[in-house]
Amino acid sequence: MRKDIRIVFMGTPEFARESLKELVESGYNVVGCFTNPDKPSGRGMKLKASAVKEYAMEHNIPVYQPKKVRNNPEVIDILNELAPDVITVVAYGKILPKEILDFPKYGCINVHGSLLPKYRGSAPMQWAIINGEKTTGITTMFMDVGMDTGDMLLKEEMEIKDEYNLEDVHDKMMKIGAKLLIKTIDGVIDGTIEREKQPEQGTNAPMITREMTKIDFNKSPREIFNFVRGLSPFPGTYMELEDGRKYKVFSVEYNVDDSIDASIENGDILLMAKDKLYIRCKDGYVSILSIQPENSKRMDIKAFMAGNRFNMMDKFI
């Protein structure tokens, strides 16, 4: 019976909350939740609980928020008290040491947002879109001390359609991951899932930093299109004029065009009208659809152009 299986859940954001919710609604006995400490948020910088903490508290599940899990005897004491049969980890944000990985009877099971061994790391969905992948998916696996290198359990694939941005992929993968976690735990407990070792070689999906979000107009239209939607709506990409003004960009269309006058350089404004802003890039141009100036709100290009104008000599660098 599921209610007899004691589960400790480790996770932090909304993506993880969905898996916790599925565990609870599926009848598993979640005896405790580990999540990251509350963080300052908003204009008042008030402490805000994680999505996992909020859900756990609503359902009277004990919450633990250690700043670190490595070399932390208190964490081991808590686990001894909770006596989990399984530890499930979904976007927790911390690497677990071997003493925790070896703790539960059925091991530590992770939900990862890629088809491993591709895109190991903290930003698998972003990099899959940025790199123009046509498909991605969820992999469940037994955790080991490496970065997403443990034995694989189940996979489920999904298509990345051109109209999907990061938010779309995130929301669909969140649902897939939650359902797949239940199938995985059921299969691990009844012994019907065979574990598959990963090859040593894989691709990495490192964390996205602010410095990495600038649009490079020396890239092709399709590359820029994938880059923008792969980081939209958060953290968003940005373009920068030679004078230092920056504009966040959340949505573009792309056009391959080899007939553009060679004197128009990458980053130059190709067309500016009441509802259009075309910027030259390698082998074509991109049309900006959704934009946000510094110290202003996000708006569609028609609203932006109604109150803003560039000089046709302006150049994005």
- Render pLDDT for 76-95 as a digit per residue (tens, 0 to 9): 999 999 999 999 999 998 99
- The ranges assigned to domains in the chain are 2-190, 210-307
Residue 43 clears pLDDT 80, i.e. is over it: no
- Render pLDDT for 275-304 as a digit per residue (tens, 0 to 9): 999 999 999 999 999 999 999 999 999 999
Distances (CA, A) of 41 to 17, 35, 170: 19, 17, 22
Domain 2-190 belongs to what topology? Answer: Rossmann fold (3.40.50)
> What percent helix, strand, coil does the chain show, rounded to 5?
30, 30, 45
Asked whether this chain's domains 2-190 and 210-307 adopt the same fold, the reply is no
- pTM of the predicted structure, to 2 decimals: 0.95
For 139, other C-beta atoms within 10 Å of its C-beta total: 29
Residue 46 clears pLDDT 90, i.e. is over it: no
Res 203: pLDDT: 95
CATH class of the 210-307 domain in this structure: alpha beta
Residue 37 clears pLDDT 90, i.e. is over it: yes
Q: What integer best gives the mean pLDDT of the chain?
A: 96
- Render pLDDT for 229-249 as a digit per residue (tens, 0 to 9): 999 999 999 999 999 999 999
Burial class (CB in 10 A: 0-12, 13-18, 19+), 210: exposed
DSSP helix/strand/coil, 227:
helix
- Render pLDDT for 197-223 as a digit per residue (tens, 0 to 9): 999 999 999 999 999 999 999 999 999
- Render pLDDT for 254-282 as a digit per residue (tens, 0 to 9): 999 999 999 999 999 999 999 999 999 99
